[in-house]
Homo-oligomer: A and B are copies of this chain.
Amino acid sequence: MALFSRTWTKLVRLSKHVHPAEKKSVRPIVTSARREMDISGIYPPIATPFRADESIDYGKLEENINKWNQIPFRGYVVQGSNGEYAYLTKNERVELVSKVATMVPKDKLIIAGAGCESTRDTIEMTKLMSQAGAKAVLVVTPCFYKGQMTNEAMINHFTKQREKKTFSCSSTVPVILYSVPGNTTIDLAPEVIITLSKHPNIIGLKDSGGDVAKLANLVYKTKGNNFQILAGSASFLLPAYAVGCVGGVLGLANVLGHECCMLENLFKKGKMEEAKILQQRLVGPNVCVTRRFGVPGLKVAMEWFGYYGGPTRSPLQPISKETEEIIRQTFISNGFV
């Protein structure tokens, strides 16, 4: 471990001042068993069900998960952006993961959102999530002090604190980077991702930005690091597969889980023509339940498909009847209702 630490420290240094001579000596030691975790597949970033008083309704959660368990998902992301994690207390965040862990079969992977604004809170949350049953953590980029979130700050956040203990290493579970500029306004830079992809405990990326060219380039540049990239939206799942991504964390999978898994399947079987049509049809509904109308839109659509949606936490507002009708018409005109 001491050896590794030195090697890794050097890597980080190299990421800033790259020298051809030094480059050769960069030999990341990827021995960890964690590296072998296969995260390919489709995941819903599950919505958090609330009662009218905004408390978490675990009964409804279990009902939803029982239905989702019938779909060939690879696993569940608990506390992606769709989970309203920003509105949960620290205790709620951990409790939610431990409850989900009791509700899903052992072969489903539980990935828990563990990102916080400060590095120290992120380290602690990662430990708690691991203890609660998460098999990997998804760590969003911090974003409040936008002007200071430089590449260097990001590399530091994801790998070590000043006292030289990396949270990733102290974590007992592997880390998946999470870039979601629509919420954070921060698009994790390719050079940061490439540097971090060499870390033995950082195994992948969920990218919700929608820049498929970035993803193509990243797959190419991280080859050999066993680094796995997941599309962060059903709007570009097929294009992401086409350039080498291995799966997706898809808000729409809360609603149209079977269809999302079908798209994965069509691509893998090389049925590009059918895949193309299905992808085209998914964009409209997906935009409605993500970027355009957000979690309130998602929860309304969940109701139509037999899931519990329910209210969001404030300040998210319930959508109007007019908006609900727009979403419904989009699902209808694209052939999903």
The interface of chain A, by Cβ under 8 A from chain B, is 52-54, 81, 86-87, 89, 117-121, 142, 144-150, 152-154, 156-157, 161-163, 182-183, 185, 210-214, 216-217, 219-220, 233, 235-236, 238-240, 242-244, 270, 272, 275-277, 279-281, 283-284, 286-287, 291-296, 311, 313-317, 334
Q: Do residues B280 and A216 form an inter-chain contact, with CB atoms below 8 A? A: yes
Main secondary structure of the interface of A (DSSP, over half): helix
**26 A-B pairs with C-beta separation under 8 A:** A86-B145, A118-B313, A119-B313, A120-B314, A146-B182, A146-B183, A147-B292, A148-B295, A149-B315, A153-B316, A153-B317, A154-B315, A156-B314, A212-B236, A213-B235, A213-B236, A213-B286, A213-B287, A216-B235, A220-B284, A238-B239, A239-B240, A242-B272, A242-B275, A243-B276, A270-B270
| Number of copies of this protein chain within its complex | 4
Kindly state the separation between the CA atoms of A64 and B200 in the bound complex, as whole angstroms. 43
| Across-interface contacts of A281 in B (CB, < 8 A) | 220
Chain B residues with CB under 8 Å of A54's CB are 120, 162
Q: In whole Å, how far is A225's beta carbon from the nearest beta carbon of chain B?
A: 15
In this complex, what residue of B is CB-closest to A161? B314
Task: Tell me which residues across on chain B come within 8 A of A272, comparing CB atoms.
Answer: 242, 270, 272
Looking at A52, A152, A154, A279, the one whose CB has the most chain B CB atoms below 10 A away is A279
Complex Cα spacing A150 to B323, Å: 14
Q: Which of B142, B213, B294 contacts A210 (CB 8 A)?
A: B213
Q: Contact at A86–B117, with CB atoms within 8 Å?
A: yes
Further 17 A-B residue pairs, CB within 8 A, beyond A145-B295, A239-B240 = A86-B117, A87-B117, A87-B120, A118-B314, A119-B313, A145-B183, A146-B183, A148-B317, A156-B315, A210-B213, A213-B233, A213-B283, A214-B283, A219-B280, A242-B276, A243-B279, A243-B280
